[in-house]
Amino acid sequence: MSYFLNEEQQMIVDICKQIVEERIKPVRAELDEKEIFPSDILKEIGQSDLFRLFIPEEYDGMGTGIFEVSLATEELSRGCLSVATSYAASGLGFLPILIAGSEEQKKKYMPDLASGKKLAAFGLTEPEAGSDAGGIKTKAEKNGEYYILNGAKQWITNGGEADIYTIFAMTNPKKGSRGASAFILEKGMEGFEFGKKENKMGIRASATRELIFNNCKVPAENILSREGTGFLIAMKTLDKSRPAVGAQAVGVAQAALEEALNYSKVRKQFNSTISSFQAIRHMLADMATKVEAARSLVYHAAKLIDSGQKNVSRISAMAKMFASDIAMQVTTDAVQIFGGYGYMKEYPVEKMMRDAKILQIYEGTNQIQRDVIALDLIKKGFN
Ligand code: COS
């Protein structure tokens, strides 16, 4: 399908396709099986300037938008969701700096993140605060020139691998979500430690770790904006990043659809290829239609954000929720079309189905997305 991409956008897609074919597909099963973090591939992604996409030119970025990031994320997800997640998680980690950072903070941190020399991570979730983002317990107390952080973050993508972390902590717990603040932390800061790497169902090559703050000393100048703005920074970040989760979903669904389509044309039963059976044809038709609908919604959401529209929570949540539900359905149907072979690790659809599940959970469960959409709908209607 043509999406009227300009020359630059087509180039982004082509570069990603090449990385997928040459670097990702040959090793994705092994990375998954052995839980190997794809450092070399991420280096190559950096050398191909793909981390620069959403970063303004003054901080060594390319100044393109969420649409271009979504194109890159979708293509990388066609290859391997672990790689795409590690790539997208760095963007999620540095978005708070772009949204709320001072000129000095942006100049200090963004160039190395733009080149891919350093990776970022986003630290919001805690053992007792997942969907309830305002309920975080990590504390940040001001002590002279420092904030002292105590607490822990859970299931942090790129945890331990990233150099730069945007962390949300309570500076005034009595105020609830209005008492949260955001900080930039660097790996190696005193009192900043990592827990064990999690053993996951899917995206097994991505790194998910606990972050532990044990009287962690963070220079006071590393606060983003000012005290009390942390929850808002987190929400604004998620509003911008959720379409990229939708793009991950479109990519993995497209990959599963392609695998199922190709297999249906060679697998023979009852002396015919299974693509000649209506049962399979109708499944393929539904899968292709769903992927196309999800892609349209993701691209639309990304373009609305890039157009500068202010209230994007609803469309952003819709894109993430719809596309990830579709990815789960389409990858499950792909396994079904492969039959018993689909359940085996020799074929890639087994991994795609395991990987797809996380998309309905991270960056806000799809139940939370439905809450965000419904609340916005009831408050604002269609104005
Ligand atoms: N943009 C701007 N402001 C926002 C906002 C947004 N997207 N979402 C909420 N706010 C504001 C609200 O308007 C409200 O402001 P006032 O106090 O001035 O009225 C304030 O923030 C608190 O909002 P609300 O009362 O809706 O907060 P809740 O505690 O009920 O939580 C949800 C809202 C559930 C939407 C939020 O906690 C959430 O997004 N949870 C999921 C978190 C998540 O994605 N976790 C995954 C981890 S990241 S991988």
Residue 218 parent element (H or E):
strand 208-219
Rounded Cα distance between 89 and 157, Å, is 6
Q: Nearest-CA neighbor of 206 among 26, 328, 38?
A: 38
Count of residues making up the chain: 383
Beta-bridged to residue 150, according to DSSP, are 139
Q: Where are the domains of the chain?
A: 7-118, 121-228, 231-380
Q: What phi and psi values does residue 127 have, to the nearest 5 degrees? A: -55, -35
**Which position has the token pair 């950072």?**
101
Q: Return the amino acid letter for 67.
A: F
Q: Nearest-CA neighbor of 118 among 42, 223, 224, 228?
A: 42
Q: Enter the CATH code of domain 7-118.
A: 1.10.540.10
Neighbours of 150 (CB within 10 A): 16
C-alpha 103 to ligand 1 mean position (Å):
26
Q: What is the pLDDT of residue 1?
A: 57
Q: What is the pLDDT of residue 3?
A: 73
Q: What is the pLDDT of residue 383?
A: 73
Say yes or no: CB of residue 124 within 6 Å of ligand 1: yes
- Residues 26-68: tens digit of each pLDDT: 999 999 999 999 999 999 999 999 999 999 999 999 999 999 9
Q: What is the pLDDT of residue 111?
A: 98
Is 186 considered catalytic here?
no
Contacts of 269 (CB under 8 A, 6+ apart): none
Neighbours of 189 (CB within 10 A): 16
What is the pairing mode between strands 146-157 and 139-143? antiparallel
Taking CA atoms only, the protein residue closest to ligand 1 atom 23 is 177
C-alpha 338 to ligand 1 mean position (Å):
41
Say yes or no: CB of residue 96 within 6 Å of ligand 1: no
**Which position has the token pair 């990987």?**
355
**Which position has the token pair 């990702």?**
24
The answer to whether the CB of 203 falls within 8 A of the CB of 81 is yes
Residue ranges of alpha helices (H) inside the chain are 7-19, 28-34, 39-47, 66-79, 81-100, 103-115, 230-264, 278-306, 313-338, 349-356, 366-380
What's the gap between Cα 263 and its chain centre? 29
Q: 165, 177, 361, 380: which to mutate for ligand 1, most atoms within 8 A of CB? A: 177
Give the number of the atom of ligand 1 that is nearest the alpha carbon of residue 364: 44
- Residues 211-246: tens digit of each pLDDT: 999 999 999 999 999 999 999 999 999 999 999 999
Q: Residue 272 has which token pair?
A: 């015919």
Say yes or no: CB of residue 126 within 6 Å of ligand 1: no
Q: What is the pLDDT of residue 254?
A: 98
The percentage of the chain sitting over the pLDDT mark of 70, rounded to a whole number, equals 99
Region of 293 please: left (phi>0), alpha (psi -120 to 50) or beta.
alpha
Cα distances (angstroms) measured from residue 96 to each of 101, 120, 126, 161, 240: 7, 11, 18, 19, 10
Are domains 7-118 and 121-228 of this chain identical in fold?
no
Q: Residue 137 has which token pair?
A: 């317990």
The answer to whether the CB of 279 falls within 8 A of the CB of 334 is no
Rounded Cα distance between 53 and 16, Å, is 13
Please check whether the domain covering 121-228 is classified as CATH 2.40.110.10: yes
The answer to whether the CB of 147 falls within 8 A of the CB of 248 is no
**Top CATH class, 231-380:** mainly alpha
C-alpha 40 to ligand 1 mean position (Å):
36
Using 50 as the pLDDT threshold, list the residues of the chain that sit under it.
none
The percentage of the chain sitting over the pLDDT mark of 90, rounded to a whole number, equals 98
C-alpha 21 to ligand 1 mean position (Å):
39
